[in-house]
């Protein structure tokens, strides 16, 4: 059976840096509160007229293709993970197909929020294992600064989230014991309302139109039950990482690098302690980018890879938790 291997990584973040002191000007918050509770010092916000979710994804994908030293024309399929697509429909994958001037290959969008990238990687891995495709682009891209309430009412969320994109090129290999070893995906829809953007939606369309006509506000901003999400996250991260290690008969001490979804620095640190990992074995960049949801893992993976912290033969674990609820992991022999 074929195996799938990440042969290239890339990322793109908008040039516009928004520091915590910039946020202090917009809402009732402080640098001290943000750093202590979330670990974030700055984040990137998109530039209107320059950045879109799909073109950021395309830029990250081009960098991943360059890194893999292959031509875009070699891509057989595109998987695009985002919670912030530019259109209600169609998805962003088809826009990337066009922006990369590719043949009429298939393009699939994934809506699994912070776990979207690992879900996408898992789908790609199955396509490669069955022999259906040989080379797949998996992309995560988000513009969240545009959907946040940037007044003091939205401060608990607006300070955490940021914009950015990351991508990997996955390719079939016959090499034994290398590439993606296993992927693990979970969901728990009973907690859907704990981290959500409710509108616009098919469910509430008539009410939204009426509220707009009446001059009232629609329920368009994200809602997060922060404390509940925090507790769930610390539990699920450790659980799903252990699931991946157990399946492959490894211990946490066998890991060379853990790339956790950049939800909140305190969550990553809690997970690191629970697994007994040293600082050099966990990649965190939430300090610079905030939580970029579906893009956070491929951005972090690309940074760690280019920094020479992930090398051939290394055991790498990706892990995520987010809205859905969804959580997932992937264990990779690089």
Give the residue nearest to ligand COA (CB): 226
The verdict on 240 binding ligand COA (CB under 6 A) reads no
Please list, in sequence order, all residues whose beta carbon lies within 8 angstroms of the beta carbon of residue 25, skipping any fewer than 6 positions away: none
Q: Where are the alpha helices (DSSP H) in the chain?
A: 20-26, 31-38, 53-68, 93-99, 116-129, 155-158, 205-214, 226-247, 265-275, 286-289, 296-306
Per rule CB under 6 A, count of chain residues that contact ligand COA: 21
The verdict on 148 binding ligand COA (CB under 6 A) reads no
Give me the phi and psi of 267, to 5 degrees please. Answer: -70, -45
Among 107, 234, 263, 318, binds ligand COA (CB under 6 A): 263
Given the complex with ligand COA, which of 52 and 320 has the nearer CB atom?
A: 320
Binding to ligand COA (CB under 6 A) within 275-304 occurs at: 291
Q: Are 329 and 319 in contact (CB under 8 A)?
A: yes
Given the complex with ligand COA, which of 190 and 227 has the nearer CB atom?
A: 227
- Window contacting ligand COA (CB under 6 A); options: 10-18, 26-34, 98-106, 123-131: 26-34
Site string for ligand COA, 32-71 (x = CB under 6 A): -xx--xx---------------------------------
Q: What secondary structure does DSSP assign to 74-119, as a single string?
A: G--EEEEE-SS-SSSSS-SHHHHHHHTT--S-EEEEE--GGGHHHH
CA atoms in the 13 A half-sphere facing the CB of 265: 18
Helix (H) or strand (E) holding 166: strand 164-173
Binding to ligand COA (CB under 6 A) within 177-196 occurs at: none
The verdict on 82 binding ligand COA (CB under 6 A) reads no
Q: Smallest distance from the beta carbon of 233 to ligand COA, in angstroms? A: 6
Among 60, 65, 102, 159, binds ligand COA (CB under 6 A): 159
- Residue 112 is a catalytic residue: no
- Residue 114 is a catalytic residue: yes
- Residue 92 is a catalytic residue: no
C-alpha distances in Å from residue 43, one per residue of 40, 53, 141: 7, 16, 14
Among 226, 247, 248, 287, binds ligand COA (CB under 6 A): 226
> Do β-strands 195-196 and 42-44 pair in parallel, antiparallel, or remain unpaired?
unpaired
The verdict on 95 binding ligand COA (CB under 6 A) reads no
Site string for ligand COA, 303-322 (x = CB under 6 A): ------------------xx
Active-site residue among 112, 291, 305, 317?
291
Q: Smallest distance from the beta carbon of 71 to ligand COA, in angstroms? A: 35
Given the complex with ligand COA, which of 65 and 233 has the nearer CB atom?
A: 233
- The C-alpha atoms of residue 332 and residue 334 are separated, in whole angstroms, by 6
Q: Where are the alpha helices (DSSP H) in 186-225?
A: 205-214
Given the complex with ligand COA, which of 183 and 320 has the nearer CB atom?
A: 320
Instruction: Kindly tell me the sign of the dihedral angle through the C-alpha atoms of 323, 284, 160, 111.
Output: negative
Active-site residue among 2, 11, 184, 261?
261
Please list, in sequence order, all residues whose beta carbon lies within 8 angstroms of the beta carbon of residue 159, skipping any fewer than 6 positions away: 20, 23, 27, 29, 33, 34, 38, 40, 290
Binding site for ligand COA (CB under 6 A): 29, 33-34, 37-38, 114, 155-156, 159, 224, 226-227, 229-230, 233, 263-264, 267, 291, 321-322
Task: Kindly list the catalytic residues.
Answer: 114, 261, 291
């Amino acid at each position: 059976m074929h195996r799938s291997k990440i042969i290239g990584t890339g990322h793109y973040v908008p040039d516009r840096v928004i520091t915590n002191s910039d946020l202090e000007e917009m809402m009732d918050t402080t640098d001290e509160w943000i750093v202590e509770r979330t670990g974030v010092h700055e984040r990137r916000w998109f530039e209107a007229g320059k950045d879109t979710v799909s073109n950021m994804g395309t830029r990250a994908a081009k960098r991943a293709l360059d890194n893999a030293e292959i031509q875009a024309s070699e891509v057989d399929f595109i998987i695009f993970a985002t919670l912030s697509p530019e259109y209600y429909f169609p998805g962003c994958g088809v826009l990337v197909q066009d922006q990369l001037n590719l043949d009429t290959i298939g393009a699939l969008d994934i809506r699994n929020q912070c776990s979207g990238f690992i879900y996408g990687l898992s789908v790609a891995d199955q396509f490669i294992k069955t022999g259906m495709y040989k080379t797949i682009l998996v992309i995560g891209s988000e513009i969240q600064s545009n959907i946040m309430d940037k007044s003091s009412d939205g401060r608990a969320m607006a300070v955490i989230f940021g914009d950015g994109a990351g991508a990997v090129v996955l390719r079939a290999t016959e090499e034994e014991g290398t590439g993606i070893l296993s992927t693990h995906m979970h969901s728990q829809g009973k907690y859907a309302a704990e981290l959500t953007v409710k509108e616009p939606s098919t469910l509430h369309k008539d009410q939204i139109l009426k509220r707009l006509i009446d001059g009232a506000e629609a329920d368009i901003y994200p809602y997060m039950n922060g404390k509940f999400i925090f507790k769930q996250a610390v539990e699920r991260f450790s659980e799903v990482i252990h699931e991946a290690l157990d399946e492959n008969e490894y211990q946490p001490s066998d890991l060379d690098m853990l790339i956790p979804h950049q939800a909140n620095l305190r969550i990553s640190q809690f997970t690191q302690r629970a697994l007994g990992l040293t600082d050099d074995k966990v990649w965190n960049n939430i300090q610079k980018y905030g939580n970029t949801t579906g893009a956070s893992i491929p951005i972090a993976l690309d940074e760690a890879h280019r920094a020479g912290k992930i090398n051939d033969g290394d055991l790498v674990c990706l892990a995520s938790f987010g809205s859905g609820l969804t959580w997932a992991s992937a264990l990779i022999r690089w």
